[in-house]
Structure 1
Amino acid sequence: MIKFILIVNKQGQTRLSRYYERLEIQKKTVLESEVIKLCLSRSKDQCSFVEYRDFKLVYRQYAALYIIVGVDESENEMAVFELIHNFVEVLDKYFSRVIMFNLDKVHIILDEMVLNGCAVETNKNRILAPLLVLDKVGSG
């Protein structure tokens, strides 16, 4: 099960966070700080799977952004690694450039892909369908 998803820039600033289990704000802040520091300090030669506390971190870097996913011990790291890549492909298909000004739409995409910490959809067209409807309603 996915516990959280973070999108972070190279400076270590959180651009998006989504938690799938309740956590106090203070604990989220500490968790994000430690997780970001751990992932960003690793070299490109090191594995993108890291054990941390009682769960695993799976991360990928795309240009100036890192996508970090915290999962429990039972989750398949390669499946999460591919889910991250699929997420980025969907973002690229929809936005083609700047995503940080459209965080509401990034949240919609993420909600279409992950529900209560479980990956529920990977088909790019199905993921984007609600956004395309919203875009038609908004421009019409």
Structure 2
Amino acid sequence: MIHFVILNNRQGKVRLTKWYSTYSQKERSKVIRELTGIILSRGPKLCNFVEWRGLKVVYKRYAGLYFSMCIDQDDNELETLDIIHHYVEMLDRYFLNVCELDLIYNFHKAYYILDELLLAGELQESSRRTIARLVAAQDSLVETAREQASLLGDLVKQAM
């Protein structure tokens, strides 16, 4: 099971977090500080697995972002690396070469893609095509809602 997902940049700023296990806000802050320090201090030639508090943290650096997932001690690290890679590929496909600014300004899309990929800390959907189709359907629903809200706003203005 994946306990949490953390995306941060090389300076240690958190860009996205998703928690699948219960942590208080104070504990979340402590976990983020602790893991960010551990991961950022590791050399690029070291392995991408860290044992931490009886769990394993699997991370991978893509450009200027670190994608980290915390898993149980007996879970497969390589499968988790594959899930991270799968998520990055989906972000790349959606944002056409994802960068940190895409995650800052469109964080809700990054969360939606992650939610389509993982459910309660487990891999939900492995098909890139299915995830892309679901995200496109969500985008069309959002666009339809915006158009309807705009029309409703125009009708209210005319009525006044």
**What is the TM-score when the length of structure 2 is the normalising length?**
0.84
Q: Is the Cα–Cα contact under 8 Å of residues 15 and 103 in structure 2 kept in the other structure?
A: no
5+ long unaligned stretches in structure 1: none
2:56 is the counterpart of 1:56: yes
SS of 1:99's equivalent? helix
2:126 is the counterpart of 1:119: no
Alignment root-mean-square deviation, CA? 1.1
After TM superposition, give the deviation of residue 136 of structure 1 in Å: 2.4
Q: What residue in structure 1 maps to residue 148 of structure 2?
A: none
Q: Deviations over 1:71-127 (max 9, x none)?
A: 111210000001100100000000114332111111111111111111111211111
Residue identity opposite 1:26 in structure 2: K
Q: Is the Cα–Cα contact under 8 Å of residues 109 and 127 in structure 1 kept in the other structure?
A: yes
**What is the TM-score when the length of structure 1 is the normalising length?**
0.95
SS of 2:103's equivalent? coil
Q: Which moved more, 1:30-39 or 1:124-133?
A: 124-133
After TM superposition, give the deviation of residue 34 of structure 1 in Å: 0.4
Q: What residue in structure 2 maps to residue 107 of structure 1?
A: 111
Q: Is the Cα–Cα contact under 8 Å of residues 91 and 99 in structure 1 kept in the other structure?
A: no
SS of 2:104's equivalent? coil
Residue identity opposite 1:130 in structure 2: L
Q: Deviations over 1:27-57 (max 9, x none)?
A: 0000110011101110111000110111000
Residue identity opposite 1:21 in structure 2: S
Give aligned-pair identity as a percent.
34
* Greater helix fraction, Structure 1 or Structure 2: 2
Residue identity opposite 2:15 in structure 1: R
After TM superposition, give the deviation of residue 69 of structure 1 in Å: 0.5
Q: What residue in structure 2 maps to residue 131 of structure 1?
A: 135
Q: Which has the larger radius of gyration?
A: 2
Q: What residue in structure 2 maps to residue 87 of structure 1?
A: 87
Residue identity opposite 2:75 in structure 1: E
